[in-house]
Structure 1
Amino acid sequence: MATQTSDLLAAAAPRTVAVVRQITDDQLDLPTPCRDFRVRDLLNHLYEVVVNFQGLARRSTVTWADKPDHLTAGWRDRFEAETGRLVEAWADPASEQGVSPGMGMPQQVVGGMAMLDLTVHGWDLAVATGQAYEPAPEVLPALHELTGQLATTARQMGVFAEEVPVDGTLPELDRLLGATGRDPAWSPAG
């Protein structure tokens, strides 16, 4: 089976997996558009998101307190496999029903948050490591809507930085990045 969430995750995931696969070990200490996160830190965070949101799809209890280093032997292959499991977990129609006991918000919003992290952090990692990134176009309308719903709370919680004003005529990705507190013109050189 499939759900709207799993279809969108399936569209978004391969683009981020492709970026992750191209990151070399000598790039792990490079800065990223995420304040206080080096490439290594952001990869570990995104790995944790991919794993924990599998549990959230099943309404399992997840912990964000553990911060293991996922970048051990074979991490690129494991990231791809875990991302596939994320899509599978959200393909169960029950994953979109009701309210998340762990997050206190509708399950569809929780699934959208996984898609948002894959897309925005895919761009973060790409720009930090000198790669091109083109998001799945079909996910952008849903991500704009979700970002609008979450922005105020996400900023209060420090999940989003302050909005970066972006010209409304720029591409959808640039507008999404600005809404999440990123400068679409960011570069490692500053």
Structure 2
Amino acid sequence: MTKTMGELLGAAAEQAVPVLRGISDERLGDPTPCAEYDVRALADHLLQVVINFQALAERKSADFGAVPRFVDEDPAGWRDRFARETAALAEAWAAPGAEEGTTGELGLPARTVGFMVLGDLTVHAWDLARATGQDFTPDPAVIGELAPALTAMAPMARENGVFGQPVAVGDDASAFDRVLALTGRDPSWRSH
């Protein structure tokens, strides 16, 4: 059965929040699978995405132009803020009508926009877990719905520089490894 976007985002948040809580200050400068981001910059980016996609669920405008500095501005509280904002994200997408019609400046179907943030929340949680030596296992229901959605979005995402070129994986690759490879990530990436 198809889950609502609020349910999917809630499940993804349950897996992502412990990863961000598990990032020590000493690891903030470490590299991530996203070559353009270290751990600090990727945590900032993910928090910005979570906040902005709350606005999109509510049919408000979002500002992706500002360079986020959540970690440096609140060194003791950014992890708790991430937990609060992901809960608010799931709540915003669970609101009646959030998945209907179009949203965002591109006028995309609302559920497609929801899958965009679900992809970021899931894949960037893996990026941060891998970069900081933590385990990460996404909710299977999330991957079951995310995989076909990201497959459909991949050509546009690559054209816009959001996804890298796909990485080849073996026939025995897990569904999540296939999602990672689709976005241009090597599922075997390690920080050291």
TM-score normalised by length of structure 2: 0.95
**Separation of aligned partners in 1, 2:130 and 2:56:** 29
8 Å Cα contact 1:168-1:175 kept in structure 2: no
User: Which residue matches 2:21?
Assistant: 21
Instruction: Please tell me the residue identity of whatever aligns with 1:21.
Output: R
User: Which residue matches 1:147?
Assistant: 150
Q: 1:177 aligns with which of 164, 172, 180?
A: 180
Q: CA deviation at 1:134?
A: 0.4
Unaligned runs of at least 5 residues, structure 1: none
User: Which residue matches 2:32?
Assistant: 32
8 Å Cα contact 2:167-2:186 kept in structure 1: yes
Instruction: Please tell me the residue identity of whatever aligns with 2:147.
Output: H
What does the per-residue CA deviation read over 1:43-76, in whole Å, with 9 as the maximum and x for residues that have no partner?
0000001000000000101111111311113111
Q: Secondary structure at the match of 2:65?
A: coil
8 Å Cα contact 1:56-1:102 kept in structure 2: no
TM-score normalised by length of structure 1: 0.96
Instruction: Please tell me the residue identity of whatever aligns with 1:149.
Output: A
User: Which residue matches 1:42?
Assistant: 42
Structure 2 residue 114 is the aligned partner of structure 1 residue 111: yes
**Separation of aligned partners in 2, 1:143 and 1:94:** 20
Q: Aligned pair count?
A: 187
Q: Which structure 2 residues correspond to residues 63-142 of structure 1 after superposition, within 5 A?
A: 63-71=63-71, 72=74, 73-142=76-145
Q: 2:169 aligns with which of 166, 169, 172?
A: 166
Between stretches 142-151 and 21-30, larger displacement belongs to 142-151
Instruction: Please tell me the residue identity of whatever aligns with 1:166.
Output: V
Q: What is the RMSD of the two structures over their aligned residues, measured on CA atoms?
A: 1.0
What does the per-residue CA deviation read over 1:103-150, in whole Å, with 9 as the maximum and x for residues that have no partner?
321000101111111110010000000000000110112111111111
Unaligned runs of at least 5 residues, structure 2: none
**Separation of aligned partners in 1, 2:187 and 2:126:** 9
**Separation of aligned partners in 2, 1:36 and 1:58:** 30
8 Å Cα contact 1:46-1:118 kept in structure 2: yes
**Separation of aligned partners in 1, 2:150 and 2:100:** 20
